[in-house]
A and B are shown apart, each in its own frame.
Chain A
Amino acid sequence: MHGVKRVRHTREALEAKKLREQAKLTDYLALTDDLLHRKQENDYSLDAFKLTTRLLQVNPEFYTIWNYRRQILIKGIFPEKQPREIYEYINEELGNTMAALKSHPKVYWIWNHRRWCLENIPNNPDADGLEAVNKWKSATWDREMMVVEKLLNADARNFHAWSYRRYILANTTNPRPEVTEIAYTTSKIEANFSNFSAWHHRSKVYSSLWTSGKLDEAKCKEDEFDLVQNAMYTDPNDQSVWIYHRWLVGTDSSAELLNREVRAIEELLDQESNNKWCIESLVHYKRMLLSKVDGDERERLSAECKQLLERLQTLDPCRRERYASMIKQL
């Protein structure tokens, strides 16, 4: 149970609630028994199908009934239908589960059922050419992209929706250029810098575009550093931006880039004295620089890290022990 306020009811109020729920409970239990019995008897009739609709409306988390519903479709209904009718059934499934998803956007089983629907759209048998044959599929998958965008507008951190989005992008018959995802995450980030889900997605999309050679890594990174710096100045206490910055710098950056970023963060720290994220990031990048220098320079950097870590121990006492272990490592 998440985020439901505790309220104390009097004994009378509880009894009254039970009484009100009595009819609902009897109906629910009878329907459950009926369906589980029909399932055991391999009843794949349209009657049974309609009953699963009723039960899932009351309880969309009843996974066994979702399974049964799919079995009825596969074994009882689809074998006697033309492809067009199957397509209509699937569209109806998607329409019905949309209502369930709106009120229960975090129920795994509903997302799961939609995936099954998408994967079971038939080809159009009357069409000629691949594109026409796939028309039903591409139309439905395209519409799902709009569905998922609506859900991400309602809750931009819903990880089910983000996963579903990645699933659609990877599997649709009508793929859009991956680079459009950059624009999408930009709009999400501009709406709210704290949306780490969007920053995360962006890091994955860029990685893929760079690996495939569709975008130039060095050029993109310069633009990204500008965007991140802007976000840092807007809210230097937002950890999403600092985590993304760490990804952007990466693990094998040149000393030149590290020094440049260190200077930029130091400038921000001048304005935001005692900002924990500035100091913590400075330690991280300076420690990376440590492995690239030796002699006096190394001594100096090491002493700076130690001094910054000591400041962090006071500023951020919850994580004191972590900073202590880092001092020991120096």
Chain B
Amino acid sequence: MSSPPKLLIPLHVSYIQKLGESKDDLSYHLTAHLRLNAVYWGLTALCIMGHKDALDREEMIDFVMSCWDEEAGGFGAHPKHDAHLLSTLSAIQILVIQDALDKLEISRVVKFILSLQQPSGVFAGDSFGEIDTRFSYCAVSALSLLGHLHGLDVEKTVSYIEKCRNFDGGFGNTIGAESHSGQVFVCVAALAILDRLDVIDDQMLGWWLAERQLPNGGLNGRPEKLEDVCYSFWVLSALSILKKVSWIDADKLSSFILSAQDLEGGGIADRPGDMVDVFHTLFGVAGLSILGYPGLVDLDPVYCMPAPVIEAKGLRKGWQSLERRVSQD
């Protein structure tokens, strides 16, 4: 087997820079409902590759603030779209990375987030009431970044997450649902923020997570499913919070992620040979950072943000990624 290509940082930086330039493209507009999330994915990927300034800071902050939904008191994914917890967390993450939280009426956002907690302890994504442990994570992470965790009913929040734990050690999106790597990330990271990792059976979950690695090095999201680059982050973040990243083969996974790069246009795809997008570009780069790939900035696996940003806020938890390797050339 030939050795995998290196991480083509300049090419990925220019791929992310060009994402906003395709406004005459239908597919660009068909993803408007994910725009704010996409800005967060792009910015975080740039930070991890050491190119935070590749996108204009003022323009980005203005765009974030243009997504504010005055009626609800949260952020929509795009100007005039309804507020939702998913986009509200992205907005807060961007403002924290850009050190621009002063733009925000924090007490209103906190009120919006807390209003979405249900009697069972889980969070709804918006006032229409879809519930999911993803939204519990969004609420916990956002409140923590805003310094307002004290307003949260921690016991109720943890109690719902605990009820989503399955016998295999993993977590599902609601009570009774099958374990899924993405849900494992949100539940484990929320518990880490709330200092309640005692809820986890770390041997069982560590086993389940380690078994996500397939012979080609990639990770899948559930037993007997296909590999996908985004699980590099969902699985690795949970493993690093459990301090068990070494339980999978880091070299094989790195090669898999690197082989999913588009060597001409930049960006990373779900698997080799597929179309790239900014979501998989972030989660590929994030995975490589946790695996100690040379030249990258540390990623905080709990918040999925640059580690220096989280450290500066005093929010770092006790996770462990692999030691950063020194480039051989």
Interface positions of A (Cβ within 8 A of B): 1-6, 8, 18, 21, 24-25, 28-29, 32, 36, 39-40, 58-59, 61-64, 67, 70, 108, 112, 115-116, 157, 159, 162-163, 166, 194-197, 200-201, 203-204, 238-240, 243, 246-247, 317-322, 325
> A78: shortest Cβ distance to chain B, in Å?
16
B316 interfacial contact with A, CB 8 Å: no
B176 touches A6 (CB 8 A): no
B275 touches A64 (CB 8 A): no
**Chain B contacts for A321, CB-based, 8 A:** 246-247
> B252: shortest Cβ distance to chain A, in Å?
7
Query: What's the tally of chain B residues with a CB closer than 8 Å to chain A?
Result: 57
Known contacts A4-B274, A166-B177, A322-B206; is-contact A238 B33 (Cβ 8 Å): no
Cβ < 8 Å to A, chain B residues 4-22: none
B174 touches A25 (CB 8 A): no
Q: Which residue of B lies closest to A111 (CB)?
A: B130
B168 interfacial contact with A, CB 8 Å: yes
- State in angstroms the CA–CA spacing of A324 and B179 once bound together: 26
**Chain A contacts for B279, CB-based, 8 A:** 1
B177 touches A243 (CB 8 A): no
Cβ < 8 Å to A, chain B residues 264-292: 264, 269-271, 273-277, 279-280
B210 touches A64 (CB 8 A): no
A196 touches B224 (CB 8 A): yes
- Residue of A36, A70, A116, A322 with most chain B CB atoms under a 10 A cut-off: A322
- State in angstroms the CA–CA spacing of A204 and B177 once bound together: 9
- State in angstroms the CA–CA spacing of A196 and B179 once bound together: 10
B249 touches A243 (CB 8 A): no
Interface positions of B (Cβ within 8 A of A): 24-26, 29-30, 32-34, 76-77, 80-82, 84, 126, 128, 130, 166-168, 172-174, 176-180, 206-208, 210-211, 213, 222-225, 228, 244, 246-249, 252, 262, 264, 269-271, 273-277, 279-280
**Chain B contacts for A32, CB-based, 8 A:** 29, 32
A-B contact pairs, 10 of them (CB 8 A): A3-B274, A4-B275, A6-B276, A8-B264, A157-B225, A166-B174, A239-B211, A243-B208, A247-B168, A319-B211
Q: Which residue of A lies closest to B275 (CB)?
A: A4
Q: Could you say which of B223, B244, B274, B276 contacts A322, with CB atoms under 8 Å apart? A: B244
The 3 closest A-B pairs by CB, nearest first: A318-B249, A321-B246, A322-B247
- State in angstroms the CA–CA spacing of A317 and B246 once bound together: 12
- State in angstroms the CA–CA spacing of A32 and B30 once bound together: 10
Given A2-B274, A25-B26, A246-B168, 9 extra CB contacts under 8 A: A1-B280, A18-B25, A21-B25, A28-B26, A59-B33, A67-B126, A166-B177, A197-B222, A318-B213
A2 touches B228 (CB 8 A): yes
B26 touches A1 (CB 8 A): no
B130 touches A108 (CB 8 A): yes
- Residue of B77, B81, B273 with most chain A CB atoms under a 10 A cut-off: B81
